[in-house]
Amino acid sequence: MEIIIFLVIAYVLYSIFSGPGRCDVCDLPIKRTYYNWEIEGKDQKLCPKCNTQMERRISKERFTDRFGR
């Protein structure tokens, strides 16, 4: 009985502190670093590759909005 209680507590602590697990865009496992974005009104966790792509897209949109094509 004590082992079951210990395992439940260990699982709860692991799930709280383990991080996001997978990128919400490409579904690849996130190893160390992840980035928070709000996409279509929902909070998303992105891997470094998807974060770079989103930064480029936002930068391009803002440049086009300000200076035109």
Does 55 reside within a domain? yes
Domain that holds residue 44: 16-62
Task: For residue range 35-69, list pLDDT tens digits in order.
Answer: 999 989 999 999 999 999 999 999 999 999 999 87
Residue 3 lies inside a defined structural domain of this protein: no
In a domain, residue 68? The reply is no
Q: What is the pLDDT of residues 17-31, one digit of tens each?
A: 777 788 999 989 988
Q: Do residues 19 and 34 make contact, with C-beta atoms less than 8 angstroms apart? A: yes
Contact 36, 9 (CB under 8 A): no
- Number of structural domains the chain divides into: 1
pTM of the model: 0.67
Among residues 61, 65, 57, 33, which one has the least CA distance to residue 47? Answer: 33
- Residue 48 resides in a domain: yes
Give the per-residue pLDDT at 59. Answer: 94
32 band by pLDDT with thresholds 50, 70 and 90: confident
Half-sphere exposure of 9 (CA within 13 A, CB side): 6
Cβ neighbours of residue 15 closer than 8 Å, sequence gap 6 or more = none
Residue 69 located in a structural domain: no
pLDDT for 56 equals 96
